[in-house]
Structure 1
Amino acid sequence: MLLDGINHIAWISKDAARLGQFYAEVFDADVGPTRPHGEDGKETMTIIGIGPHTELNIFVIEGNAEPERQTPMWGRGRIDHVGLQASSPEAFATIRQRLIDKSASDGAINDFGTVRSIFFRDPDGLEGEVLIATAST
């Protein structure tokens, strides 16, 4: 393969600090500083490191109502949700408990044969999924 995974996923948020705190507390993510982005002064960007070479690039854009729009699964547009790979079965269990503690997930584990997963909603309402290979468990 010519690729080595995903470098970043970018999305628009209403509150990058709240979102960063959630990803730091649940996933031990590294939250970078918020800095200006764009030329009109109405946009900021915060980078949240979620893996060795994977980031969430979070944009807050004054006047943009897109973060408020939520629709049911498969009605969210071309990208429906984000799937995050747990680094180990122990990490999967830790993440699952942290999501439950934050009321971001009911804790239900889905068995898809080769992988197990848990769905969650972050503070912006974005649906995410954490996965671990069944062979790892």
Structure 2
Amino acid sequence: MLTSGFDHVAVLTADLDGFVAFFQEVFDAEVLDCRQELPAGMRMAFLKVGPDAEFNLFQLDGNDEAAKQLPMFSRGRMDHFGLRAASMSDFETIRDRLIGRGASDGFVTDFGPVFSCFFVGPEGLEAEVCVANPDWKPGDVVNSPGTPARRFHPEAA
């Protein structure tokens, strides 16, 4: 196996602060970042819920998806999921395979704590593979989506 499990689950919420508070209070979850530089009407937070597990939370003005709490097996598809590569070498192998299949353009985002490569899987489901950034240290900046990883895109330096 080239992955060590799921990296995160992306969740749409109508109450970002309430979602964060619940998981902090019940599970001792840690807020990694709350973005302020996102487009108007959007809020985002990374909520660490385990050693290698996060919720990526999104609150969007006018989006009512969070209110559509349907019974199990009637909820439809999730937004996306992230797989955690077991090592940098495995991440590079997976990325090469995705490019080879035409499932990814190979762009790697430097989010700070992790590198991320999005891909389109079966039936058009978007997902990503992530790996710990060996150069990031706690307290360093957490980057915005689309920040090129210099390790993979030296021309962006």
Report the TM range for the smaller structure's normalisation.
0.5 to 0.7
| Structure 1: 5+ residue stretches without partners | 80-137
CA spacing shift, 1:37–1:57, aligned 2, 3 Å: farther
Amino acid at match of 2:62: G
Partner of 1:53: 52
Paired residue for 1:16?
16
Match of 2:28 in 1: 28
Whether the 8 Å CA contact 1:12–1:60 is kept in 2: the answer is: yes
Q: Structure 1 CA distance, aligned partners of 2:24 and 2:31? A: 7
Alpha carbons 1:35, 1:46 under 8 Å: kept: yes
Counting aligned pairs with the same residue, the percent is 37
Structure 1 residues 37 and 2, CA, compared in 2 at 3 Å: closer, same or farther? farther
CA distance in 2, matches of 1:63, 1:78: 20
Q: Distance in 2 between matches of 1:70 and 1:8?
A: 21
Which residue number corresponds to residue 6 of structure 2? 6
Q: Which digits, 9 at most, give the CA deviation of each residue in 1:23-66, with x for residues without a partner?
A: 1111111123421465x312111111011111100000011011
Over 6 Å off, 4+ runs: none
**1:9 and 1:57 in contact (8 A); partners too:** yes
Q: Which residue of 1 aligns with 2:71?
A: 72
Over the aligned positions, Cα root-mean-square deviation in angstroms equals 1.5
TM-score w.r.t. the length of structure 2 is 0.46
- How far apart, CA to CA, are the structure 1 residues paired with 2:77 and 2:65? 14
Which residue identity is paired with 2:6?
A: I
Measured in 1, the distance between the counterparts of 2:73 and 2:55 equals 21
Contiguous gaps of at least 5 residues in structure 2 = 79-157
Q: CA deviation at 1:78?
A: 2.7
More displaced 10-residue stretch of structure 1: 58-67 or 40-49: 40-49
* Local SS of the residue matching 2:3: coil
- Which residue is equivalent to 2:41? 42
Contact 1:37 1:45 in 2 (8 A): no
